[in-house]
Amino acid sequence: MLQGKSVLITGAFGGIGKALALKFGENGAKVAMWDIFIDDEFNKKLTDKGIQFIASQVDITKKEDVQKSADEIIAQWGKIDILVNNAGITKDNLILRMTEEEWDKVMEINLKGAFICSRIIGKVMFPQKSGSIVNVASIIGQIGNIGQANYSASKGALISLTKTCAKEFARFGVRVNAVAPGYIITKMTEQLPEKIKTKMLEGIPLGRLGKPEDVSDLVVFLSSDKADYITGQVVRIDGGMVM
């Protein structure tokens, strides 16, 4: 489905990031992975599967770092067809207790990082007259959540950024969409007490947490030519939590 395409994934060595890298690679794409750390064991897994990839340590909040690393991809592959802004962090606290540092760090990575990457990679895509950007937002950016003012604000703003980029980039043939996952199985959710897991499941009509693969399947579809008439949309993956 993606033969001959090259994809850049930020936050590539987290749970969803790895699922994205595997899914894109299995569908024939060359995969560039950016993160603040590199997982050599996962890289070996990609190599064993015959997936062509580049793995780089990149601070997406530094435009010089992003530009340099983007240039390295272009030097090797000649183009970037798809950008997935997946990098994100949480630093949870109640508003009255939240520090400015906690607020700033989440906004810097979740929002500013996506802005910098979209601007720099967008400029790569424009002369190609084609491209797809998918932002990994969250349903929390649409409904809010106690203790996550910084995270919900960053993801809500990312959704707004998605819509504006979609309008500005359309004339260059570049589509921009967002996915909004609900509760997805990660190392963090696996460590939660059973009482909290049960409470979470009570709010999900389908009765289970999402898998990273649920997210990667949708992102790959939105990135492909099968979705070439879809732009500016936010698609929820939440088992029916929000209707």
Backbone angles phi, psi at 237, to 5 degrees: -130, 85
Alpha helices in 110-208 (DSSP H): 113-125, 140-143, 149-169, 187-190, 194-202
Cα separation, 156 vs 108, in Å, equals: 14
Task: Work out the burial of residue 159: count CB atoms within 10 Å of its CB; fewer than 13 is exposed, 13-18 middle, 19 or more buried.
Answer: middle
Catalytic residue among 34, 42, 151, 169: 151
- 60: closest CA among 150, 130, 158? 158
Contact 32, 73 (CB under 8 A): yes
Cα separation, 236 vs 133, in Å, equals: 16
Contact 221, 227 (CB under 8 A): yes
Which stretch of DSSP H or E encloses residue 130? Answer: none
Residue 151 catalytic?
yes
Task: Go through the chain and tell me how many residues it has.
Answer: 243
Look at the block and give the residue holding tokens 């995969």. 31
Report the catalytic residues: 151
